[in-house]
């Protein structure tokens, strides 16, 4: 079944209150943050807190991602060792600029896996691209390790690097989003969009999510549990889309049984890309249980 | 292992626990707990703090704890952080049973 990454909820790594119930809101992934949300003097305490939470709390079906500090800080190596030992499913590397960043991080992950008797390769990676150099190197980054499951855009640092600011229409992010989604698809991995910071503006969150879904993104980072449901609604196929996908696949099967490679449905030609899109729609529908939640779509 | 300076870890926010640690003149671990659920869970919280301090390798300390409804895993994490800071160590045996 398709692994859903429609939403990834940020959880500050030094906030035990949020950490204890982060999984009850229904996001597809949780991202425990040891980096920007933790002050320098609390890095040690946050590392211990996330380690003990991951070893103790059962987070259900939520994918457990940890954003570690970069390796060029005094905290990066210890973060990776602790989080691999804790059983984090995914290590998220911030501010990724080159493939070498991935190689260096992977070497630390592998060292920790060997030290703690964890099968080498079990810990996956996600790379956050947060600057112009990272965008330019997006494909090299996306293909730097078989551990990579996704690349993600970090827009705040990216905009600062570009000497611009974020706008509601997102025009400043258009090139980066395009580069990241194309690199991810070429590498066969997922693409995760950046956060939308105004938690009180749900209408704009929905518009932005619709726009990045249209670009091809698999999901969006969220900073508040209130943002999860609107994002899921955008990514979950609507009932009419599911019905149409089923009809396309039925028509395609019927044509194949007749030995025909081409078929028309409602006056439109059904060819291979149309069938692939229909299959993707049904995969998403089943993975998100949309077929059982018609009232919510 | 010895305490070289008083230290603390944690906060007074909901779901957290503030742990303050300082040297003890006697060879014992003394725990003073304030918690709104002390009647129900006080013994368990003190036991968790005491076992974490001993596991860290301290035989002598005074611990002042203000609990705000922390889970056991949070209590242990905060005690270890306070112990590390008080003893000036940064090593931790990642991978051991929690």
Between A170 and A263, residue with greater pLDDT:
A170
- Percent of chain A exceeding pLDDT 70 equals 96
Query: What element of type H or E holds A174?
Result: helix A174-187
Arithmetic mean of pLDDT, A4-14: 96
For residue A54, give the chain B residue with the closest CA. B73
pLDDT, one tens digit per residue, over A153-204 is 999 999 999 999 999 899 999 999 999 999 999 999 999 999 999 999 999 9
Pair (A17, A118) in one structural domain: yes
Q: How many domains does chain B have?
A: 1
* Whole-Å CA distances, A109 to A5, A10, A87, A122, B95: 23, 22, 11, 10, 14
Arithmetic mean of pLDDT, A256-274: 83
Chain A contact set for B9 (CB, 8 A): 45
Structure token digits, residue B91: 């090593």
pLDDT, one tens digit per residue, over B9-25 is 999 999 999 999 999 98
Chain B contact set for A115 (CB, 8 A): 95
Residue B94 lies in a domain: no
Spatial distance between the Cα atoms of B55 and B92, rounded to a whole number of angstroms: 11
Pair (A231, A244) in one structural domain: no
Would the CB atoms of B92 and A85 count as touching at under 8 Å? no
Residue A1 lies in a domain: no
Of A45, A57, A115, the CB nearest to B81: A45
| Chain mean position to CA A73 | 25
The span from the first CA to the last CA of chain A, in angstroms, equals 21
Pair (A124, A174) in one structural domain: yes
Of A48, A78, A85, the CB nearest to B95: A85
Q: Residues of B at the A interface (Cβ-Cβ below 8 Å)?
A: 9-10, 13-16, 70-74, 76-78, 80-81, 84-85, 90, 92, 94-95, 98
pLDDT, one tens digit per residue, over A284-297 is 888 787 654 444 44
CA of B26 vs chain A CAs: smallest distance (Å): 28
Chain A contact set for B76 (CB, 8 A): 52
Residue A2 lies in a domain: no
Which of the listed residues A197, A213, A235 is the one where a domain comes to its end?
A235
pLDDT bin (cut points 50, 70, 90) of residue A43 is very high
Pair (A228, A290) in one structural domain: no
Pair (A85, A228) in one structural domain: yes
Which pLDDT score, from 0 to 100, does residue A266 have?
86
The span from the first CA to the last CA of chain B, in angstroms, equals 21
Indicate which CATH number applies to the domain containing B75: 3.30.230.10
CA of B56 vs chain A CAs: smallest distance (Å): 13
Which pLDDT score, from 0 to 100, does residue A62 have?
94
Q: How many domains does chain A have?
A: 2
Residue by residue, DSSP assigns A57-100 as: ---TT-EEEEEPPPTTSTTHHHHHHHHHHHT-SEEEESS--SHH
Pair (A228, A292) in one structural domain: no
Which pLDDT score, from 0 to 100, does residue A141 have?
98
Would the CB atoms of A55 and B98 count as touching at under 8 Å? yes
Of B71, B80, B81, the CB nearest to A20: B71
Q: A220 pairs with which residues across the strands?
A: A7, A193
Task: For residue A33, give the DSSP letter.
Answer: E
Spatial distance between the Cα atoms of B1 and A196, rounded to a whole number of angstroms: 47
Among A1-5, A65-69, A234-238, B54-58, the range scoring the smallest mean pLDDT is: A1-5
Which pLDDT score, from 0 to 100, does residue A272 have?
86
Q: What is the mean pLDDT of chain A?
A: 93
Structure token digits, residue B55: 């596991």
Residue B92 lies in a domain: no
* Whole-Å CA distances, B72 to A52, A108, A151, B78: 9, 30, 35, 10
The alpha-carbon radius of gyration of chain A (Å, integer) is 20
Pair (A118, A222) in one structural domain: yes
Which pLDDT score, from 0 to 100, does residue A75 have?
97
Residue A29 lies in a domain: yes
pLDDT bin (cut points 50, 70, 90) of residue B98 is low
Residue B18 lies in a domain: yes
Which of the listed residues A194, A212, A235 is the one where a domain comes to its end?
A235
Pair (A267, A158) in one structural domain: no
Angle separating helix axes A174-187 and A202-215, nearest 10 degrees: 50
Q: What 3-state class would DSSP assign to A265?
A: strand
Which pLDDT score, from 0 to 100, does residue A85 have?
97
For residue B71, give the chain A residue with the closest CA. A20
Pair (A73, A175) in one structural domain: yes
Spatial distance between the Cα atoms of B79 and B83, rounded to a whole number of angstroms: 6
For residue A49, give the chain B residue with the closest CA. B77
Residue B2 lies in a domain: no
Which pLDDT score, from 0 to 100, does residue B90 have?
87
Would the CB atoms of A52 and B15 count as touching at under 8 Å? no
Q: Which residues of A268-296 are buried (b: 16+ CB within 10 A; e: fewer)?
A: eebeeebbeebeebbebbeebebeeeeee
Residue A208 lies in a domain: yes
Spatial distance between the Cα atoms of A264 and A254, rounded to a whole number of angstroms: 11
Neighbours of B50 (CB within 10 A): 16
The alpha-carbon radius of gyration of chain B (Å, integer) is 12
Q: A76 pairs with which residues across the strands?
A: none
Q: Is the pLDDT of residue B77 over 80?
A: yes
Q: Is the pLDDT of residue A143 over 70?
A: yes
CB pairs under 8 A between A and B: 67
Residue numbers of the domain that contains A81 = 7-235
Q: What 3-state class would DSSP assign to A53?
A: helix
Residue B48 lies in a domain: yes
Which pLDDT score, from 0 to 100, does residue A117 have?
95
Which pLDDT score, from 0 to 100, does residue A91 have?
98
pTM confidence score: 0.91
Residue numbers of the domain that contains B38 = 7-87
Which pLDDT score, from 0 to 100, does residue A291 have?
56
Residue B71 lies in a domain: yes
* Whole-Å CA distances, A270 to A251, A278, B74: 8, 10, 56
Which pLDDT score, from 0 to 100, does residue B97 have?
59
Residue A46 lies in a domain: yes
CA of A3 vs chain B CAs: smallest distance (Å): 28
Which of the listed residues A216, A235, A254 is the one where a domain comes to its end?
A235
Pair (A138, A217) in one structural domain: yes
Arithmetic mean of pLDDT, A62-67: 97
Pair (A210, A157) in one structural domain: yes
Among A1-5, A42-46, A131-135, the range scoring the smallest mean pLDDT is: A1-5
Residue B78 lies in a domain: yes
Q: What 3-state class would DSSP assign to A9?
A: strand
């Amino acid at each position: 079944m398709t692994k859903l990454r429609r939403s990834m909820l940020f959880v500050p790594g030094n906030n035990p209150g949020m950490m204890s119930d982060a999984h009850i809101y229904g996001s597809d992934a949780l991202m425990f943050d040891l980096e920007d949300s933790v002050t320098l003097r609390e890095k040690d305490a946050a590392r211990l807190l996330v380690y003990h939470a991951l070893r103790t709390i059962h987070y259900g079906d939520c994918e457990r991602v940890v954003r570690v500090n970069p390796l060029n800080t005094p905290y990066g190596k210890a973060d990776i060792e602790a989080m691999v030992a804790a059983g984090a499913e995914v290590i998220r590397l911030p501010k990724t600029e080159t493939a070498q960043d991935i190689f260096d991080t992977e070497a630390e992950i592998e060292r920790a896996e060997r030290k703690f008797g964890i099968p080498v390769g079990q810990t996956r990676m996600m790379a956050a691209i947060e600057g112009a150099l990272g965008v330019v190197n997006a494909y090299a980054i996306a293909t730097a390790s078989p551990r990579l499951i996704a690349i993600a855009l970090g827009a705040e640092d990216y905009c600062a690097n570009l000497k611009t600011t974020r706008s509601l229409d997102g025009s400043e992010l258009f090139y980066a989003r395009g580069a990241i989604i194309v690199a991810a698809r070429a590498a066969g991995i997922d693409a995760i969009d950046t956060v939308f910071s105004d938690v009180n503006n749900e209408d704009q969150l929905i518009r932005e999510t619709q726009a990045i879904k249209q670009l091809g993104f698999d999901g969006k980072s969220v900073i508040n549990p209130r943002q999860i449901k609107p994002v899921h609604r955008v990514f979950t196929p609507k009932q009419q889309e599911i019905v149409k996908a089923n009809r396309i696949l039925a028509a395609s099967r019927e044509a194949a049984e007749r030995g025909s490679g081409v078929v028309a449905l409602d006056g439109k030609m059904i060819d291979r890309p149309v069938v692939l899109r229909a299959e993707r729609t049904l995969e998403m529908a089943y993975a998100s249980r949309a077929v059982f939640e018609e009232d919510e779509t | 292992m010895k305490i070289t300076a008083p230290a603390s870890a944690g906060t007074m926010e909901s779901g957290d626990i503030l742990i303050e640690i300082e040297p003890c003149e006697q060879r014992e671990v003394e725990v003073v707990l304030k918690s709104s659920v002390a009647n129900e869970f006080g013994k368990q919280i003190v036991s968790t703090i005491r076992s974490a301090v001993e596991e860290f390798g301290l035989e002598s300390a005074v611990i002042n704890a203000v609990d705000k409804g922390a889970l056991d895993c949070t209590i242990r994490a905060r005690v270890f952080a306070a112990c590390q800071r008080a003893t000036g160590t940064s090593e931790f045996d990642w991978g051991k049973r929690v």
